[in-house]
Amino acid sequence: MKILVSGVGGLVGAAVARRFGDLAEVFGIENNTRRDLFGPSADISQNLKRLQKDCPGLRVEVCDIRSAETVLKLCEDQRFDAFVHCAGQPSHDLSGRFPALDFSINVVGTHNLLEAARLTRPDAPFVFLSTNKVYGDFPNSIPLRETHSRFEPADPASRRGFGEDAPIDQLGHTPFGAHKAAADLIVQEYGRFYRMPTVCLRAGCLTGAGHASVSAHGFLSYLIRTALRGGSYIIEGHKGKQVRDNLAASDLAELIALIISARPQGGVVYNVGGGAANAVSILEAIECLLQWQGVKLRWSYSETPRWGDHIWYVTDLARVCRDYPQWEPRKDLRMIFDEIAAWSSDEAKIVRG
Ligand SMILES: NC(=O)c1ccc[n+]([C@@H]2O[C@H](COP(=O)([O-])OP(=O)(O)OC[C@H]3O[C@@H](n4cnc5c(N)ncnc54)[C@H](O)[C@@H]3O)[C@@H](O)[C@H]2O)c1
User: 3-state SS of the chain?
Assistant: CEEEEECCCCHHHHHHHHHHHHHCEEEEEECCHHHHHHCHHHCCHHHHHHHHHHCCCCEEEECCCCCHHHHHHHHHHHCCCEEEECCCCCCHHHHHHCHHHHHHHHHHHHHHHHHHHHHHCCCCCEEEEEEHHHHCCHHHHCCEEECCCCEEECCHHHHHCECCCCCCCCCCCHHHHHHHHHHHHHHHHHHHHCCCCEEEEEECEEECCCCCCECCECHHHHHHHHHHCCCEEEEECHHHCCEEEEEEHHHHHHHHHHHHHHCCCCCEEEEECCCHHHEEEHHHHHHHHHHHHCCCCEEEEECCCCCCCCCEECECCHHHHHHCCCCCCCCCHHHHHHHHHHHHHHHHHHHHC
pLDDT band at residue 213 using 50, 70 and 90 as cut-offs: confident
| Averaged pLDDT for residues 102-120 | 98
From the CB of 16, is ligand 1 less than 6 Å away? no
Tell me the best of 85, 131, 132, 309 to mutate to test the pocket of ligand 1, counting ligand atoms within 8 Å of each CB and taking the most: 131
Confidence at residue 350, expressed as pLDDT on a 0 to 100 scale: 53
Kindly report the average pLDDT of the chain as a whole number. 95
Given a cut of 70, whether residue 201 has pLDDT beyond it is: yes
The average pLDDT across 108-128 equals: 98
What is the per-residue pLDDT for 210?
Answer: 86
Residue 9 CB less than 6 A away from ligand 1: yes
Q: What's the pLDDT tens digit per position in 26-62?
A: 999 999 999 999 999 899 999 999 999 999 999 999 9
Q: How far is the CA of 9 from the centre of ligand 1 (A)?
A: 9
User: 351 pLDDT band (50/70/90 cuts)?
Assistant: low
Nearest CA to ligand 1 atom 21: 10
Q: Answer whether 86 contacts ligand 1 (Cβ < 6 A).
A: yes
Q: Output the pLDDT for position 348.
A: 63
pLDDT digits (tens, 9 = 90+) for 83-98: 999 999 999 999 999 9
> Over 90: is that where the pLDDT of 352 sits?
no
Please compute the mean of the pLDDT values over residues 98-114 and round it to a whole number. Answer: 98
pLDDT, tens only, 217-245? 888 999 999 999 899 999 999 999 999 99
Residue with CA at minimum distance from ligand 1 atom 17: 10
pLDDT of residue 349: 63
- pLDDT above 70 coverage of the chain, percent: 98
Answer yes or no: is pLDDT of 346 > 80: no
Kindly indicate the confidence band of residue 161, based on its pLDDT and cuts at 50, 70 and 90: very high
pLDDT at 344: 86
